[in-house]
Amino acid sequence: MKRGRGILALALLVFLCLNGVVVAEAENVDVMEKWANYGALRRDENSYLRPDDFILREEAAKALSTIILYEAGPNDGGVPAFTDVDVSSPYYESIITVASTGVMNGISADTFGIGELLTREQTAVIMYRVFVSQLNIDLRSSFSDLWQASSWAGGAISVLAGNRIINGYSDGSFKPHNTIKRIEFITILDRLMPEPHKIVVNVPSPADFPDFDRTDPNQAPADPYAHLVGKKLIALTFDDGPHGTLTPRLLDALDAGGIKVTFFLTGANVAAYPSIAKRAADEGHQLANHSYSHKSLTSFTNEGIQNDINYASYIIENATGVRPTVLRPPFGSNNARVRSAVGMPLIMWSIDPQDWSGKSSDTIYSHITSRARDGDIILMHDIVQASIIAVPRIIEKLKQDGFVFVTIDELIAVRGGAQAGELYYSFR
Ligand code: NI
């Protein structure tokens, strides 16, 4: 028989676990006997204590009223006229006691909630109100779902759990809105008062309840690009650097203009000026790959392409701590073989002032500002002095025209992403 019962109990436990019902409170029916004998719990007509039934609000009121030395409470004199509590109700006196002392409020101004089940967070708040004087407010525990608790309940849950009065579930949750069993309610009460007796209750004001962390840990982090959505975006890009003197001048101008750009660096020049590349990265600009040798990649074998690209990435990462995620092939030159070999999105351009061909800064400025459209990628070179001179005016004009300057990574993130081996001329 004993063995059979054990198997039954095991089967029940497995059933409960499979259904996600892990009992939060250790169960000891003797505790219920003690409180029933004290008069806090009614037995049913068959004299059962029904430990696994969920406790009703009026049953909780009954249990608590037996320990409250009712003299006067904050709600005294204005005894709530609950429309659902009849004077003839066996719970009438208990409800008046808990309501008058402020231990339990109605579920609305004129409704106590007769016949409704008490929730776990309501239990925490009620116990907190009665026993606050014997709790260490500095002892707090948190739960993965504490943020789901009502604003008036989270602090009480946190303190009661920190004082080891109320438990959560094995998965780290508390389930504040779940109902609570009769035996769980009495077990919690018994931890606070091992010998049942009457006490004077001084209910703290809601303002004195401890606060708790209301942030949802499961919430997706706020979209870092949200501020760019719906804006007119434009990306300035500078190829072939760093240059020993012009790139620092450009960085000063970008800093003054308060914008971030993308540098398509050659590995060879980063090897020559690693600290300038590092400065660009430290100031928030994007560093991208423009090959090591700046030779047309179509002239290389597949292995040669990868060596030239990977070596540039290695040098850039070594100098700056940042590994490029996008490539601009030298001269834009590419074919299917190049595209499949590089392993990164290929970022081309939609506006090219041909600044390398001896154009004046005025011409560069006009070419760019007269053509700029949302999503454009502008090609310049930070080894060309005329472009560096034109940059402050370009920034000023495009800002006036409502553009927001972004890096290529930002443009990609806001405008649908980019795939390795694909060509991108703009991100509309
Ligand atoms: Ni180039």
Q: Residue 405 forms beta bridges with which residues?
A: 234
pLDDT at residue number 372? 97
pLDDT at residue number 229? 92
Is pLDDT of 19 > 50?
Answer: no
Q: Which residues are catalytic?
A: 239, 381
Lowest mean pLDDT among 57-66, 76-85, 291-300: 76-85
Taking phi over 0 as left and psi of -120 to 50 as alpha, with beta for the rest, 373 belongs to beta
Please name the residues in contact with 300: beta carbons below 8 A apart, sequence gap of 6 or more: 307, 308
pLDDT at residue number 27? 65
How far apart are the C-alpha atoms of 345 and 283, rounded to whole Å? 24
Check whether domain 226-424 has CATH 3.20.20.370, yes or no:
yes
Taking phi over 0 as left and psi of -120 to 50 as alpha, with beta for the rest, 354 belongs to left
pLDDT band at 419 (very low <50, low <70, confident <90, very high): very high
For residue 330, the CA-to-ligand 1 centroid distance in Å is 5
Q: Cis before residue 242, ω within 30 degrees of 0? A: yes
Mean pLDDT of 338-364: 97
% of the chain exceeding 90 in pLDDT: 75
Picking from 310, 374, 331, 320, the residue whose alpha carbon sits closest to that of residue 239 is 331
Count of CB atoms within 10 A of residue 26's CB? 10
How far apart are the C-alpha atoms of 109 and 89, rounded to whole Å? 19
pLDDT at residue number 26? 61
pLDDT at residue number 234? 98
DSSP secondary structure code for residue 381 in this structure:
E
Question: Which alpha helices (H) appear in 284-407, and where do they start and end?
Answer: 302-320, 336-342, 361-371, 385-400
For residue 355, the CA-to-ligand 1 centroid distance in Å is 12
Residue 316 has which token pair? 């850039």
pLDDT at residue number 21? 42
For residue 348, the CA-to-ligand 1 centroid distance in Å is 11
For residue 295, the CA-to-ligand 1 centroid distance in Å is 9
Q: Domain limits of the chain? A: 2-55+117-208, 226-424
Does the pTM exceed 0.75? no
pLDDT at residue number 333? 97
pLDDT tens digits, 220-250:
667 788 899 999 999 999 999 999 999 999 9
Mean pLDDT of 355-372: 97
For residue 287, the CA-to-ligand 1 centroid distance in Å is 14
pLDDT band at 7 (very low <50, low <70, confident <90, very high): low
For residue 228, the CA-to-ligand 1 centroid distance in Å is 29
What's the whole-number average pLDDT of the chain?
90
